[in-house]
Amino acid sequence: MSPPEAAAPATDATPASDAKPALGAAPSGAAPTGPATPGRAGRGAGRWLAAAAVVWAAAMALHAWIPNAGVNAGSLFQTLLPWTGLGVPVLLGLAAVRRSRTAAVAVLAPAVVWVALFGGALTDKRSGGGDLTVVSHNVSEGNPDPAGTARVLAGAGADVLALEELSDASAAVYSRELAAAYPHHAVLGGVGIWSRYPLADVKAVPIMPWTRALRATARTPDGPVAVYAVHLASVRVSAAGFTTGRRNEAARELAAALRAEPATRVVVLGDFNGTYQDRALAPVTSPLRSAQREAGDGLGFTWPAAFPVVRIDDVLVRGMTPRAAWTLPATGSDHLPVAAALSR
């Protein structure tokens, strides 16, 4: 039997190369289309990053214009102003992830503003000399070792010490431990002054309902110096905002006392519970010179002592020239002590 013949191929089959694409399918070899491409999305994100960098730079440069109404956002922003520089590496990193040259260039704006604001603080401006060395320290009412703190302070070799947040018990300890190096002292309320030189004209400065400021004349070999030990009211950050009302009122009262001060040479030492940049403290800070800003090394943060992020303790002067400013080692307090060498 002969084998069956093979079936002939259908003659009406359409060659594969001539097949028409299904309705809605992309032609072979054509690039897929869609509402947006990844490249466009990346460019859009880069533009948003660039805009954010410009806004951040503007906020830093115009910090004095940020309103203080309501939650005191302006004062809070100024308190943390040195840390605004952290936005630069964050924005730069995001620009790198997005591979956006536009955003990377825009990040130069906040970088330049930060350097203009704080670049000078990163240099060592300390120099030799000085007729009077002073130390200020919020010793903390809860300090577990006031005697040890007193020894640290005495070891600094200052001529005048101003201590804040004293309790009745701790004031007695400091008086005993500092007596050998500082035969002259005055304590009123929670503040005190210890001095190698005689003190005169001691009086409380009424900045709050209870005593938080003290004024005395130190009779130094180079002439009298009015010394203020100050502890302005505390501030709080809460859901209600940056609460500074009581501190601001105390600052205004202190400013009035300083305007009435007749002495040519004035040193104001203390815990201001705010930074030099905070415009709410301008009544006190604007007529005075900050030893740290003029003669310090670095930003000189003082609080909290374990990891300082702000400088709320300072040495402010009038009629004297800061020669050097620095912080002392940590004690049992939550603040670092600050020191300065001053000359006429």
Find the mean pLDDT for residues 198-225: 97
**pLDDT tens per residue, range 241-278:** 899 999 999 999 999 999 999 999 999 999 999 999 99
- Long-range contact set of residues 66-73: C-beta below 8 Å, sequence gap at least 24: 68/279, 68/280, 70/241, 71/240, 71/241, 71/242, 72/241, 72/242, 72/243, 72/244, 72/280, 73/241, 73/242
Look at residue 212 in the predicted model and tell me its pLDDT.
97
- Residue 102 phi/psi, 5-degree rounding, is -60, -45
Closest CA to 133 of 222, 230, 261, 254: 222
**pLDDT tens per residue, range 89-122:** 999 999 999 999 999 999 999 999 999 999 999 9
- Residue 266, Ramachandran bin (φ over 0: left; ψ between -120 and 50: alpha; else beta): beta
Confidence of residue 10 (pLDDT cuts 50, 70, 90): very low
Residue 13 has pLDDT above 60, yes or no: no
- Name the 3-class secondary structure at 186: strand
Confidence of residue 42 (pLDDT cuts 50, 70, 90): low
Confidence of residue 146 (pLDDT cuts 50, 70, 90): very high
CA gap 9, 329 in Å, rounded: 97
Q: Would you mind telling me the total number of residues written for the chain in this entry? A: 344
According to DSSP, the β-strands at 132-138 and 338-343 are antiparallel
- Cβ burial of 221 (10 Å; 0-12, 13-18, 19+) is exposed
Helices 146-155 and 168-178, packing angle to 10 deg: 40
* Tokens representing residue 76 in the block: 């809070």
